[in-house]
């Protein structure tokens, strides 16, 4: 988080919402750059784990690792950059529902990003295999 972004987030709930999402997008890019040959689901799970570590969760436990994969499954079926944007909005909803209520744009964006999955227009299994070929073929994940 930049100093200016941090200062804005102190005085503005909307700025905090925007900064929460931007922080996840930046983390995702760092994880992706560090492990470019991994699937997006792995990158999303690592972002989830990084966020949980900041909240005091022991991310080295197998239950945390499994939860990271489960919590990011639907997001991993979306194309980049929608996948990480949706995850950032999800964190915002979980951590600051009052911001979602105060600024409906966040909830509306999340709904729009997730609509293909939630309405069934997107075939989750096919999208998962397309976007996460390594996890799909090595048997690590079964949809």
Q: For the segment 110-132, what is each residue's pLDDT rounded down to a tens digit?
A: 999 999 998 888 889 999 999 99
pLDDT band at 141 (very low <50, low <70, confident <90, very high): very low
Each residue's pLDDT tens digit, 7-41: 555 569 999 999 999 999 999 999 999 999 999 99
In a domain, 87, yes or no: yes
pLDDT at position 120, please? 85
Residue 51 forms part of a structural domain: yes
User: 86 with 51: CB under 8 angstroms?
Assistant: no
In a domain, 143, yes or no: no
Question: pLDDT per residue over 67-93, tens digit each?
Answer: 999 999 999 999 999 999 999 999 999
Report the alpha-carbon distance of residue 94 to residue 9 in Å, rounded: 17
- Domain extent at residue 10: 3-137
pLDDT value, residue 18: 96
- Binning pLDDT at 50, 70 and 90, where does residue 137 land? confident
Angle, vertex CA 54, rays to CA 31 and CA 81, nearest 5:
35
Asked if 34 and 130 count as a contact pair (C-beta separation under 8 A), the reply is no
pLDDT over 60 (residue 142): no
Instruction: Flag whether 68 is in a domain.
Output: yes
Instruction: Determine, yes or no, domain membership for 77.
Output: yes
Q: Which two tokens stand for residue 72?
A: 């990011």
The tally of domains found in the chain comes to: 1
Radius of gyration of the chain (CA): 15
Q: How confident is the model at residue 5 (pLDDT cuts 50, 70, 90)?
A: low
Percentage of the chain beyond pLDDT 90 is: 82
């Amino acid at each position: 988080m930049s100093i200016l972004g941090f200062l804005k987030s102190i005085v503005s709930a909307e700025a905090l919402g925007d900064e929460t999402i931007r922080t996840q997008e930046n983390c995702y890019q760092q994880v992706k750059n560090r492990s470019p040959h991994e699937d997006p689901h792995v990158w999303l799970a690592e972002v989830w784990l990084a966020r949980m570590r900041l909240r005091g969760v022991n991310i080295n436990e197998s239950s945390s690792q499994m939860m990271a994969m489960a919590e990011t499954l639907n997001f991993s079926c979306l194309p980049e950059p929608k996948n990480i944007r949706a995850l950032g909005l999800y964190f915002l909803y979980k951590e600051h529902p009052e911001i979602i209520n105060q600024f409906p744009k966040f909830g509306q964006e999340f709904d729009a990003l997730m609509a293909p999955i939630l309405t069934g227009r997107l075939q989750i299994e096919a999208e998962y295999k397309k976007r996460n070929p390594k996890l799909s073929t090595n048997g690590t994940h079964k949809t």
